[in-house]
Each structure stands twice: as C-alpha cells, then as structure tokens.
Structure 1
Amino acid sequence: MKTNTFQLSPSQIEVYHQDGYLRIPGFFSKEEIDKLYGIALADDAMRKNALDLNDREGKKTRLSLWFTPGNDTFGYLVRCQKMVDSVHTLLGVDSPVCHFHSKLMQKEPKVGGAWEWHQDYGYWYKNQFIFPDQMMSVMVALTEATKQNGCLQVIKGSHKLGRVNHGFAGEQVGADMVMVENALKTMELVYCELQPGDALFFHSNLLHRSAANLSDYPRWSLIACYNSQSNIAYNETSTAWKVPVNVVPNEAILEWKSEAFSKSDFLKKENDPALKDTGWEK
C-alpha cells in the first residue's frame, strides 16, 4: 500500500503561530470529500443525533457532535496520519495528540443560522481544560464555503488576546462584544472562504464567527477538535480528550472498510457543560 506523506513547512508553522490559523488548500481530495459528504447526507445516525442551537435572531444552527473517533469513514479522517501529525506539529508539545470531539456542521440554504463571535476555549474553559495553547480545531470543508453561504470569519491574530469573557447569545456561548469590537478596530477581519477538501487549522483562542446561510446552497463542514494529553480537563465526563489518537494511514478514508456511524458516542444537548449557566456569564 502506498502511503501519502505530508509535512507542514516552517513558513506554514510560522503563519499559524502569528495569525492563529492556517488554511491548507486541497488537504483532502475530491474523491475523499465526495465519499464523506455522501455519508453525511445519507447517515441516519447523523440526523437523529443532530442538535439545534438558536442564534440571536432565532435561526437554527445544526450540528452533530461525537467524542470517540471510530472505525467509520469520519473516524478515519480525524485519525489519519497527515491530520494528527499536522496537529502535533502546530501544538508544539511532545505529549500525544488526543481527539476531544468532532462535529458535523450543517447550514442549510436560507434557514441555517449564524454562529456568534466566540473562542472555542470560551466553551472549553467550562470543561476546565488548563492550557488553551494545547487545544485546536481543524475545519474541513465538505461543500464550498463563501461569504454568501456564511463562511467562517476570523479576527487575525486575536488568539494572542488570551481568553475573552463569554456569556449567552441565544442558545450559544458568545464573546464579550466590547472586546470583540476592540479587536476588530485593532486587527484584520478575514473571511475564510474554502473549497471542498480545504482544511483550516485554528487556535482555541482565535475569535471567529459565521453569518447565517441566506444563499441557495448548503454549507457543510467537519470540525475536528484536538487536545494534547498533557492538558488536563477537570470538568469533562467524556474520556476521549486524554486518549492518544489511534492513527491510521491516510489511505484508510478511501480504502478501508468502515463500520456504521451509529456506534459513535454522540453528545446530548442537555449534557453539554458549555450550555449550563455557571454564574459568570452574566
């Protein structure tokens, strides 16, 4: 079996640490993305375990979130060699890479809601992870992401602010808008338009949002969230965050037999600590 190799360049690593994010065009092939998107559309488990979260305007954002990456095609994607190696390089610590959770983001045409300005660590702080620098997310576009269908927006370099206070915005957890406005006056707003198969690696403290999808086209993406094993979570009931990823070859996505996705340990809305009021959101 031929093994594809991929290695981040020194300049790409520098961009990630300077800007808080790194876009890699064509990280996954059209054949891989076609297979993943087809499964996402057809899989009953994805639909049955999807959560609806209202934005400030009452529009619904829809996602399916699971913790342990399995022997299904999405599990192979988040466990593949080039993904885990890239995360390990960007986190910059010797500790093994663990998979915290993945989520399939589903923004349907005309009705898909917005994600308010936030940092991922604004959510994960409630899980009491200690080191935000040892956490990151990787977005993989399954469909085209444009300004028209609500692509991700980021504030370039905002990961250097540290954690911003967060409160509730609709059913979502949103960043303090005074700090967001200050950041927008100081740093560049970037629209991260993506083609299917592009990957966007971003720091857990990068401020980001996405607008509602008012276009005629869906915007679907996978976001895989990773943690270094040395980064302890003191308020997290799942255990995936401390289990080193069982890495598979890059070819597994297309070539390996996959199990049913229904075996995954999906998050239930009522069990999400980020959606519980702890008092400091006021």
Structure 2
Amino acid sequence: MNNKVKPLTDEQIAAFHRDGFLIIEKLLSEEEVALVKEACLKDEVLMQSAMEMKDSQGRKTDLSLWNHPGDDIYGMIARSERVVDTMEKLLDDEVYHYHSKLSAKKPRVGGAWEWHQDYGYWYQNGCLFPDMASIFIAVDRCTKENGCLQVLKGSHKMGRIEHSFTGEQTGADPERMAWCMEKFERVYCEMPAGSAVIFHSNTLHGSEGNLSDESRWGLISVYNTKHNDPLREHHHPGYTPLEKVPDSAIVTIGAKPSEKTQKYLNQEEDDTSTTVDV
C-alpha cells in the first residue's frame, strides 16, 4: 500500500523556520520501510562501499554516501513527490539532490557523531547560502539508547560557526558548543521506523553511540536549492535538475538495491573536510 503524506501546513512550515527542524510522522509506510531494509541487507555494493567513521572514542559507524539518485529504492525515495515537494516548500525554491547516505550504527559498537552544522563545511564547497536541508528517515526505530539524532532547537539562527577535526569527524568549535549547550534546548529525535526529521543546514546536531542491542540505520538525503548552485567544483554535484517520481514508485520498484555502476564516495575524495553525518 502506498503511503499518503499530507501536504505541510502553515504551522509546520513556521515551526521549521523557528526551530530549525521538523519531524514528519509516518513518512514511509511499514511496507516501504520493510522494502528499504530488505534492499539494504542484500545490497553488496552499498555495504562494500561503506566507510568506517570513528568518533573521538574510537567507536565506529558505517557510512555509505552517493551523489546521484539511481533507479533503486533509495533513489525512488529521494526523488519521490512526498519528499521533494516537502523540501521545496520548506526551502522556498526548486531543489536538487546534493547527496544521500546510509548511516548504520551496529548494536553496541556504533559510534557517536560529533556536534556540528552541515553548513559548517558545505560552506567550504562554494555554497554561498545556507539554503540547504537534510531529511533523515528512520529505517530502524530511533531511541536515546541506540543513538538517535539530537538537535539544538533554534540554533540555526546563529549562522555558521567555526569547525575543526575531532577524531575522524568535523565538529563545531568546543568553546562555542559549550555556550550553545547552555543556550539552546536539546531535543532527542526519538522516532519509530518510517518517520523522518528534516533539519536546516545551520542547525547544530549530533548523536551518541549505540549502546543498545538494536541496530540504528538511517537513510539521509540532502537537498540544495537551485539559486545556491555551488561556485566551486567539488566532490558533490552542482545544480542538476531532479526528476521527481510519483510516491507509488517506491512500492513499484520494490526492494531493488543499488546498481553495480553506482559510484560511492571515498574519504580520500572529500576535499573540503572529513565526512560527518548523523
């Protein structure tokens, strides 16, 4: 059964601009979540391309990252009307696919993601404006115990702050972060599988390690706006028209994994900073 997601209300749009994030309940149906999980589990190309990202404690999270949405189930989700229309409504412009990634925290060993802003390093890619956002879709249920996404509510209004390396990740300036932790409310984005959180590129976010017996997989797609076409050629694409597909395409394509021709990013190809995620 195809999932029907209601258009955003004025109240939801206002909340996103006020808080810097918005949770969308039941973005994917139970059937669609099951298809994504099935595709991931049999996707040898995706798994073999995963980077092991270490946090400051040496714990590891597997991260697979690709620039262009294919004709697999991940591409159908990233190009679906329910997702693209939502991002365009929140960012008030035509959007294009900047990149997608699968963040997989294994039980008991999955690492943390340091506190950071995505625009803290996308700025270095030649994007003049922070008019960008990410959507994190819970493939597994997300809880405090398994390292759910955390955000600092309203922190996007500060603008970009300085970032530096922490372990193998890029983190926000520690002194500034200490002030931010006192100033802003910390929100744990606990969600059932299929729900999603959309967050602004300047929203401070991070997550803790997975200390539970459950996996915590998240499918993240990042969108840039047409008017923010990067002025610097780098490891993510410039403006590339996005071909939307009907929401029904997700179920129609089924548990189709990525093609062998899909290109995944290597850490060595990231020429602006160490890759970070949620």
TM-score normalized by structure 1? 0.92
Matched residue count: 273
Aligned equivalent of 2:165: 168
Distance 1:3 1:115, change over 3 A: closer
Aligned equivalent of 1:8: 8
How many Å apart are 1:116 and its aligned residue? 0.2
Aligned equivalent of 2:179: 182
Gaps of 5+ in 1: 277-282
How many Å apart are 1:260 and its aligned residue? 4.0
In structure 2, distance between residues paired with 1:191 and 1:259: 30
In structure 1, distance between residues paired with 2:262 and 2:141: 26
SS in 2 for 1:6: coil
**Are 1:219 and 2:216 matched, yes or no?**
yes
Aligned equivalent of 1:199: 196
Give the root-mean-square deviation of aligned CA atoms.
1.8
In structure 2, distance between residues paired with 1:240 and 1:72: 19
Aligned equivalent of 2:124: 126
Amino acid at match of 2:207: S
In structure 2, distance between residues paired with 1:259 and 1:145: 23
| Native 8 Å contact 1:116 1:209 kept in 2 | yes
| Native 8 Å contact 1:55 1:169 kept in 2 | yes
Aligned equivalent of 1:42: 42
More displaced 10-residue stretch of structure 1: 211-220 or 180-189: 180-189
In structure 2, distance between residues paired with 1:200 and 1:75: 18
Aligned equivalent of 1:280: none
SS in 1 for 2:203: coil
| Native 8 Å contact 2:112 2:210 kept in 1 | yes
Match of 2:96 among 98, 102, 126: 98
| Native 8 Å contact 1:173 1:274 kept in 2 | no
In structure 1, distance between residues paired with 2:236 and 2:51: 21
How many Å apart are 1:201 and its aligned residue? 0.6
Match of 2:234 among 225, 232, 237: 237
How many Å apart are 1:180 and its aligned residue? 1.3
TM-score normalized by structure 2? 0.94
| Native 8 Å contact 1:4 1:251 kept in 2 | no
| Native 8 Å contact 1:88 1:97 kept in 2 | yes
How many Å apart are 1:204 and its aligned residue? 0.2
